[in-house]
Amino acid sequence: MTAQPAQSSPFRLDGKTAVITGAASGIGFAIAQRFSAAGATVRILDIDLAAAEQAARRIPGGRATAHACDVTRQADVISLFQELIRAGRIHVLVNNAGVSHIGNLEGTTEEEFDRVYRVNVKGFYNVLLACVPHMKTGGGGVIVNMASIGATVGLADRFAYSTSKGAVLSMTYSVARDYLAHNIRCNSISPARVHTPFVDGYLARNYPGREKEMFEKLSRTQPIGRMAVPEEVASLALFLCSDEASFITGVDYPIDGGFTHLHG
């Protein structure tokens, strides 16, 4: 009997370098862990350098490095990426750093709106501007932008946040279209509620003593009956950045427990 060739494990990133913004905690850290386990070298970018360094230490095998990055400061972002590029080619970019905001139109001040826009829209633009030219001259790459179901579904009291994520969605389509000829794929992921430290902090601040009750209430807003966990978002990100997804670009992927089409 002829021996069958061993099947390689799918969704690998061996020999590739991935840059992930906002990766010191939550979804970003889960993506860093998952990418590292799939063979990638990961660059953890975060505004909190101490937290980024702690996150890098939690990833085994010395496969992660930590870097301070305020995505709102274009000159600093470009300088950091020049440093990262000197260390080697960047194959994968995950634009994840972002802030949330709760409030409707009338409950959103100009300062709050500007802050959300600076981080969630201009921050993504700054990172893309620093990385895409390198990918363009280096033979291509893969980009995943973290959007939200708020980009396409009306969410109560999320005016500024939903507006910013709508911009991320349009940005994704634009970059995907403009850089097709340069072998750059660009997609976005739109989660519903994900159980991260942000959720726990929000409940502790706004519902002291009622955290468990409110957590269950928020969980039930997803038709599937629970929130996502960061690792589930990371699994989707890994697929989109792997060679198995080489025919996928310019697509937004909801990961929402049925919220978008089964809600109501």
Residues carrying an active site annotation: 161
Alpha-carbon span 178 to 87, nearest angstrom: 27
Q: Which residues of 81-102 are buried (b: 16+ CB within 10 A; e: fewer)?
A: beebbeeeebbbbbbbbbbbbe
Contact 200, 219 (CB under 8 A): no
Task: State the residue for tokens 């699994």.
Answer: 235
The pairing of beta strand 41-46 with beta strand 64-68? parallel
Q: How many helices (H) and strands (E) does the chain have?
A: 10, 7
Q: Extract the tokens encoding 113.
A: 């709106």
CA distances to 96, 113, 129, 197, 259 from 19, in Å? 10, 27, 14, 22, 30
Q: Which residues of 125-146 are buried (b: 16+ CB within 10 A; e: fewer)?
A: bbbbebbbebbbeeeebbbbbb
Q: What is the DSSP letter of 242?
A: S
Contact 121, 169 (CB under 8 A): no
